[in-house]
Structure 1
Amino acid sequence: MSSQHKNLSDFSNSEVPSGASYRFGIVVAEWNAEITNALYQGAYESLLKYGTPAENIFTYPVPGSFELTSGADLLLQKGNLDAVICLGCVIQGETRHFDFICNAVANGVSNVAIKYSKPVIFGVLTTDDHQQAFDRAGGKHGNKGDEAAVTAIKMAHLAETLKA
């Protein structure tokens, strides 16, 4: 979904189920902390807004976006969670490092979700510059953390619905 003309935090056309009965893990990268902390605040506050009790939200920092995959894997190995939200930010630099990290994280998050048959949400900004990241971490395009939290609730609800 392109966010050029969409506020990531606008869910007015979308019904969000209650998060009251779900347990969520949040893995947040420490690299680009000013941005990832804003993403985290958006995700945490959205989970609370939609009824998730604070004691059902488990937060774990990891050094960078590359480590989000192993963080999610460790949480799902050990925890009784309904979904894991991965929050990070990779900003284009002068080398191809950006491409390798973005590709590895996207594939890794998908693989962990498949491995555990649990929702693992990709809340990672992959931007050309710091301004684009700030715009998507509480700026003019809303907060990708909000979107990641709502996605986690919807996917946990879908998983529960399909078990019934």
Structure 2
Amino acid sequence: MATKGNNALLKGIPTTKDAFVVIVKTEWNAPIINKLEAGAKRVLKEAGLGVKVLTVPGAFEIPFAVKAYAESNEPKADAFIAFGTVIRGDTPHFDYVCKAVTDGVVALNLTLNAPVIFGVLTVDNEQQALERVGGVHGHKGEEAAVTALKMIALKRKLK
């Protein structure tokens, strides 16, 4: 169960200079995704980071887009943030999509040289999603951006 915003996460945000983050977001559930993106961009821009946004049709396609970008000649990403919202329906499709995107992000974290932050909401209904984009459960877009900042700082510290 989610807490009412991850207040501990928002403490001790590191200063991260000269970093670049790629956000991969879905077209599905655009009103929610756009709020996740706006929150993340706000935090990243306040921190002085460069940001690029890629849009894919659905959550299932997120891992492919992250991998394709990482292997491209585009500017090197210091971190990726994956944004999607998968809302439970009447069929097992929800379970398959959630597992596939989760497994894909885990695999990317184990193979890429940049962290991939999991910002995919997996909820039972639209109300639960709204509660996580500035509602009673905090703002998961902002939290994903803070996580990216912390992971970039950790990686740089370990070099």
Runs of 4+ more than 6 Å apart: none
Structure 1 stretches of 5 or more lacking a match? none
What is the SS of the residue equivalent to 1:94? coil
Quote the Cα distance in structure 1 between the aligned partners of 2:70 and 2:9. 31
What is the SS of the residue equivalent to 1:111? helix
Matched residue, 1:152: 148
8 Å Cα contact 1:39-1:146 kept in structure 2: yes
Aligned residues: 157
8 Å Cα contact 1:44-1:149 kept in structure 2: yes
Trace 1:1-164 onto structure 2 (pairs within 5 A).
Answer: 2-3=1-2, 5-8=3-6, 10=7, 14-49=11-46, 51-53=47-49, 56-78=50-72, 79-163=75-159
8 Å Cα contact 1:39-1:143 kept in structure 2: yes
Percent identity between the two aligned chains: 41
TM-score w.r.t. length of structure 2: 0.93
Quote the Cα distance in structure 2 between the aligned partners of 1:19 and 1:92. 37
8 Å Cα contact 2:10-2:146 kept in structure 1: no
The CA deviation at 1:52 is 2.4
TM-score w.r.t. length of structure 1: 0.90
The CA deviation at 1:139 is 1.9
8 Å Cα contact 2:23-2:53 kept in structure 1: yes
What is the SS of the residue equivalent to 1:95? coil
Structure 2 stretches of 5 or more lacking a match? none
